[in-house]
Amino acid sequence: MKISIARRKVRNKDMWALTVSHEGKRKRKFFNTQVEAKQFDVLGWLAGESKKEPAGDKTILSVAFDQYILAYGKRNDNDHKPRQKGKATTEDRVMKFLRWFGADRLVSEVTSEDYIEYVNSGNWSHKTKLGYGGAVKIFMAWCGSKGYGQIKEQWYSTVNKGLQIEATKKEFAKLPGICSIEETKGILGAIHEKYRPALAVMFFTGIRAEIEMEMLRYSDIQWGKRIGLMAERTKTGRERWIIPPDNLWSWVPKNGKGMVNPVTYNALSQARALASKRAFGWENNGRRGGGGVTGFTYPANGARHSFGSYGYWRDFAWALDTMGHMSSEVFLSNYKNNRVGKEESDEFFNIKM
pLDDT digits (tens, 9 = 90+) for 230-276: 888 788 788 899 999 999 999 999 888 888 888 888 888 888 788 77
pLDDT reading at 18 higher than 50: yes
pLDDT reading at 78 higher than 70: no
Beta carbons of 226 and 243 less than 8 angstroms apart: yes
State the pTM of this model. Answer: 0.60
Whole-number pLDDT of residue 64: 93
The model's confidence at residue 287, banded by pLDDT at 50, 70 and 90, is: very low
Which residues, including other chains, have CB under 8 Å from residue 48's CB and lie 6 or more apart? none
The model's confidence at residue 49, banded by pLDDT at 50, 70 and 90, is: low
- Top pLDDT among 193 and 43 is at 193
pLDDT reading at 345 higher than 70: yes
DSSP string, 42-104: HHHHHHHHHTTS--GGG-BHHHHHHHHHHHHHHHH--TTSS--HHHHHHHHHHHHHHHHH-TT
Mean pLDDT score, 106-133: 90
Mean pLDDT score, 47-63: 79
Beta carbons of 157 and 118 less than 8 angstroms apart: no
Whole-number pLDDT of residue 317: 92
The model's confidence at residue 281, banded by pLDDT at 50, 70 and 90, is: low
The model's confidence at residue 79, banded by pLDDT at 50, 70 and 90, is: low
- Top pLDDT among 300 and 278 is at 300
Mean pLDDT score, 8-19: 83
Closest CA relative to residue 195, chosen from 266, 263, 275:
263
Closest CA relative to residue 345, chosen from 305, 304, 309:
309
- Top pLDDT among 138 and 172 is at 138
Neighbours of 44 (CB within 10 A): 9
In angstroms, the Cα distances linking 281 to 185, 204, 273, 294 are 15, 27, 12, 13
Beta carbons of 144 and 159 less than 8 angstroms apart: no
Whole-number pLDDT of residue 48: 67
Percentage of the chain beyond pLDDT 70 is 89
- Top pLDDT among 83 and 139 is at 139
Alpha helices by DSSP H, 111-258: 112-119, 126-145, 181-190, 196-205
User: Phi and psi for 342 in degrees, rounded to 5?
Assistant: -60, -40
- Top pLDDT among 347 and 286 is at 347
